[in-house]
Structure 1
Amino acid sequence: MSPDPTPWDRSIPDADLLRRFDIAGPRYTSYPTADRFHAGFDAERHGEMLALRAFGPAAAQPMSVYVHIPFCESVCYYCACNKVVTRHHERAAAYVDALEVEMSLVHRRLGARALVSQLHFGGGTPTFLSDRELSMLMALLHRHFRLAADAEISIEVDPRTIDFGRLRHLRGLGFNRLSFGVQDFDPGVQRAVHREQSLESVAALIAASRDQGFTSINVDLIYGLPLQTPASFARTIEQVATLRPDRIALYGYAHLPHRFKPQRRIEASALPPPADKLRMLSGAIAGFIARGYSYIGMDHFALADDPLAVAKREGRLHRNFQGYSTQPDCDLVALGVSAISKLGASFAQNVKTLPEYYAALREGRLPVERGLALDQDDLVRRDAIMALMCQGRLAFDPIERSHGVVMADYFAPEIERLRHMEADGLVTIEPRAVQVTPMGWFFVRAVAMVFDRYLRPSGAGAAAPQGAAGGAADTPIRFSRIL
């Protein structure tokens, strides 16, 4: 099927716009972002939110479940995941046992087997688990939750840890979506980041996945890695496009060795200069669009007939901790070390180390380290930011009806700060809406950041509500979909 000729696919940003507006900032898989969580929201508060869901109107609605598997056999030098690097696979058995305890604690508070429409395994490397351990984990999930017949069940896959037999086993367990971590196909780049895998092996796995009946295949890529050049990355874009994954996630590498120890093994001198990194991004956008992909937003692409692209065209796109989704916004229960749950107007994040995680569960406690209860301003801004991120349009009427605010007054400072973006052709400010232009869609992160009260520049507009946290934005690093 040829791509739908929507205006989003006809504009490619030039280097000047990319240089000025492709800026560091949150991915807005949540608002407020995780760097705003605090220890005052603890396990007891999270337990209360689980119980509140059990007896509230949300109990009848489907929810999502995320399972974080932290183990990896070897370290990828670019990685910013919460992970445990080990070749001792016996450590996984104890972790599955711990997940069973956490599920029991959650189930006890929910009071029933909640209906689940979306289940995702992330990491780390979920396929670090053996077939037997994956079977046990799925059986535990079925025991504690009720998976819908049409549930999206996805898993992140390191192609180096899987073969055709494992694909069959995953399909037999009910997984219907796969995400392959590729990053780059250039052998020199792969050696520089300690992640070597051939085009041929990935191609064979994708072909086998289709034969096994997986309904959606995603490929993850990263630009800005050591030894990458615009020419070498263009070859990777061409190679990935020939594999025809249904979806592509393209992330920019941020080099922060002071925060992420594995990145200290990357020589800063080997990183591409900023100008080359911008050329890689613009080349990738142009390359994928030319090969039949629609730009969904925030570094994501999908084939024109993929449900994600269809939802984008029809205004039904949503966003959650797994990125863009066709699933309506719903509660999320996240299991495992460092995982983040969303229940009603709250977030809760589990402890980040295995010793802390195991200790909490031995004591019969939910392993929550920190979280956040959203205030009214958070809720208004969350709706505004998600409207921009998902529909590319902030219509005033729905938010005024939902929250009882006058948008022109409430967001007067923000609308004023959008004037320079309007002059650059990124937004159109209408009397009752802010519309992201086709060109502005490539910079929707920067547009959304204008409405983030925690990023408000000093002296711009009214002060943030009392008790609001300050500080810098989340860095735009991926890599774990839940962090």
Structure 2
Amino acid sequence: MDHSLIEKYAAPVPRYTSYPTAPHFTDEVNNAVYAEWLSSFRADDKLSLYIHIPFCDRLCWFCGCNTKQTLKYAPVQAYLQRLFKEIEMVAAKLPHRLNVVSLHLGGGSPTLLQSDDFARLKDVLCTHFDFADDAEISIEIDPSDVTPDQIKGMVDFGLTRASIGVQDFSDVVQKAINRPQSFEVTRDVVNALRAHGIQSINLDVLYGLPHQTTERLMDTVAKTAFLQPDRIALFGYAHVPWMKTHQKMIDEAALPGTVERFEHAMKAADALVDAGYDRVGFDHFALPHDKMAIAARDGTLRRNFQGYTVDPADAMIGFGGSAIGQNRNGYIQNVVPTGQYQAMIDKGELAVGKGYVLNEDDRMRGHVIEQLMCQFSFDKAELVARFGEPARQVLREANMIAAQDRDGFIENDERHFAVIGQGKPFVRAIAAKFDIYFGQGTARHSKAV
């Protein structure tokens, strides 16, 4: 591809795991607003739960998560006591005992939890919620610090899908990002999970890392595919040291340039397709039998704060410091500092820090952006049927965006607006054209590729 096109479309834009995106959340949404939203849940609402464990025993320099390092377990235990209390408080404000179809434990590193605490967490959750028989229970796993006892604890907790960060198997790259993790350690954890009956495995690979070469990345991709995970996420490293100060430990001179970064992503993607994986959206891959690959084919793929998902929930409730939830009214994010989170819970308060109240235009544009991110297109008639006359404005914008396309990345007819061919890797940049908030405020984003 022409290098000028790569540079043109690689400008920083949001990842669109929500619309509007998190930088536009405000304190308009507070504890009182959230309590009112919780009281409006319907008896048949299907829930997704997200639980944030903001601790790691090692701080990886590439990480963009809200987390803190600890070598002691006491802070984790203290945090869990507040987490259990928050779950109880939120459940008490719901008018019905609701059904959970999806649960995700993220971090930080949830594998810091000891098996007894996994059992206590399960007891608290089952006290207040019902779980569907086919509920997906996923946990992010750091293979370098997980023990056989913790694996058993996660299995007893109900684990159905494990998500393991690989990043890159090169010793040189691992040293540059402070993430030592051999292929053998990763392989052994994958095998141990499968021996316990956990067949659904997701592995995350990063491109755009310091000292990462084509050869090193392709070796990582080959080793990752060899393990035959059901899903592989091929994420671009988001270098945002103005937000995550520990990323200043990374030598910026060792980062690949925009064109090299793009070429790495394309070669890695082609290698995964050659290994038998289906492309899902712009940065995920799944074996053809996997639910995510099926959802991409039948048009039911969705996108939320965990990225691409097949989660069928009507709403997500987030628990823990910095956790984000969403429902038909809008978005909610808990306060980020763990100390502040725990102090608010100790006072018997919900721990809301900020959020966003959705209006109908937000819902309409969010639908358009989600469709583009998941299917690379949206159906014009369906948009009008869903949102009525206001959808005509978005269709006029779509026609203008298509008319200004000089690169052959957009197909626009009476039925569909679609991102096609070589434009698909740049779908974030094209989706941003429908974002009326983009460019407002001081938010800074990572590169679009």
TM-score range, shorter chain: over 0.9
Q: Output aligned runs, 1:244-259, within 5 Å.
A: 244-259=228-243
Q: 1:48 to 1:477 in 2, by over 3 A?
A: farther
Match for residue 218 of structure 1 among 171, 192, 202? 202
Deviation at 1:388, TM superposition (A): 1.4
Structure 1 position 69 matched with structure 2 position 53? yes
Q: CA deviation at 1:92?
A: 1.1
Q: Does 1:440 align with 2:405?
A: no
CA-to-partner distance for each residue in 1:157-198, whole Å, 9 max, x for gaps? 001111344323311221110000110000111111111011
* 1:252–1:354 distance in 2 versus 1, CA, 3 Å: same
Distance 1:35 1:362, change over 3 A: same
In the other structure, the counterpart of 1:475 is 446
Alignment partners' CA distance in 2, 1:241 and 1:378: 39
- Separation in 1 of the partners of 2:397 and 2:299? 27
Does structure 2 retain, via aligned residues, the 8 Å contact 1:454–1:471?
no
For residues 353-403 of structure 1, give each alpha carbon's deviation from its aligned partner in whole angstroms, at most 9, with x where no partner exists. 112111111211100011110112111111111121222221112221222
Q: Deviation at 1:20?
A: 3.1
* Structure 1 counterpart SS, 2:384: helix
CA distance in 2, matches of 1:14, 1:135: 54
In structure 1, distance between residues paired with 2:266 and 2:309: 24
Q: Contact 1:156–1:180 at 8 Å: present in 2 too?
A: yes
* Equivalent runs, 1:304-383 vs 2, <5 Å: 304-383=288-367
Q: Deviations over 1:112-148 (max 9, x none)?
A: 3311000000010011111111111111111111111
Secondary structure in 1 aligned to 2:348? coil
The answer to whether 1:184 aligns with 2:155 is: no
Distance, in Å, in 1 between the alignment partners of 2:393 and 2:80 is 51
- The equivalences for 1:386-397 within 5 A come to 386-397=370-381
Residue 222 (structure 1) shift = 1.2
Counting only pairs closer than 5 Å after superposition, residues 152-163 of structure 1 correspond to structure 2 as 152-163=136-147
- For residues 298 and 27 of structure 1, the distance between their equivalents in structure 2, rounded to whole angstroms, comes to 11
Whole-angstrom distance in 2 between the partners of 1:63 and 1:446: 31
Q: Does 1:173 align with 2:157?
A: yes
Aligned-CA RMSD value: 1.9
SS in 1 for 2:221: helix
Alpha-carbon separation, structure 2, partners of 1:190 and 1:176? 29
Identify which of 403, 408, 419 aligns with 1:425: 408
User: Which has the larger displacement, 366-375 or 315-324?
Assistant: 315-324
- CA drift of 1:477 comes to 9.8
Q: Provide the rounded CA distance (Å) in 1 between the counterparts of 2:69 and 2:153.
A: 24
Distance 1:75 1:409, change over 3 A: closer
Task: State which of 352, 368, 379 in structure 2 corresponds to 1:384.
Answer: 368
Contact 1:331–1:343 (Cα < 8 Å) also in 2? yes
Aligned length, in residue pairs: 449
Q: Which amino acid aligns with 1:105?
A: M
**Which AA in structure 1 matches 2:410?**
V
SS of aligned partner of 1:65 = strand
Which residue of 2 is the match for residue 111 of structure 1?
A: 95
Q: What is the aligned counterpart of 1:20 among 1, 5, 8? A: 8
Matches of residues 104-143 of structure 1 in structure 2 within 5 Å?
104-143=88-127
Question: Is the CA contact 2:118–2:153 (under 8 Å) kept in the aligned structure 1?
Answer: no
Provide the C-alpha distance between the structure 2 equivalents of 1:216 and 1:33, rounded to a whole number of angstroms.
30
List structure 1 runs of 4+ shifted beyond 6 angstroms.
none
Alignment counterpart, residue 195 of structure 1, candidates 170, 179, 191: 179
AA aligned to 2:68 is V
In the alignment, structure 1 residue 455 sits paired with structure 2 residue 438: yes
CA distance in 2, matches of 1:361, 1:303: 42
**Structure 1 Cα separation of the partners of residues 24 and 377 of structure 2:** 26
CA–CA distance in structure 1, aligned partners of residues 10 and 285 of structure 2: 17
Q: Give CA-to-partner distance per residue, 1:183-241, whole Å, 9 cap, x none.
A: 00001111111110111111121122222221311111111111111121111111111
Are the counterparts in 2 of residues 418 and 450 from structure 1 also a CA contact under 8 Å?
Answer: no
Choose from 382, 398, 402 the match for 2:386.
Answer: 402
CA contact (8 A) 2:43 2:96 kept: no
CA distance in 2, matches of 1:309, 1:18: 27
- What corresponds to 1:299 in structure 2? 283
Distance 1:359 1:477, change over 3 A: farther
SS at match of 2:212: coil
5+ residue gaps, structure 2, are: none
Tell me if the contact between 2:46 and 2:313 (Cα under 8 Å) persists in the aligned partners. Answer: no
Q: In structure 1, what is the Cα distance between the partners aligned to 2:201 and 2:317?
A: 24
Q: Is 1:88 the counterpart of 2:76 in the alignment?
A: no
Matches within 5 A, 1:201-240: 201-240=185-224
Supply the AA of the counterpart residue of 2:32: E
Contact 2:429 2:448 in 1 (8 A): no
Whether 2:21 is the aligned partner of 1:33: answer yes
C-alpha distance in 2, partners of 1:278/1:246? Answer: 24
Deviation at 1:43, TM superposition (A): 0.9
Task: Give the TM-score, by structure 2 length.
Answer: 0.95
Q: How far apart are 1:328 and its partner, in Å? A: 2.6
Please give the TM-score of this superposition, normalised by the length of structure 1: 0.89
Alignment-derived partner of residue 43 in structure 2: 59
Moved more, 34-43 or 271-280: 271-280
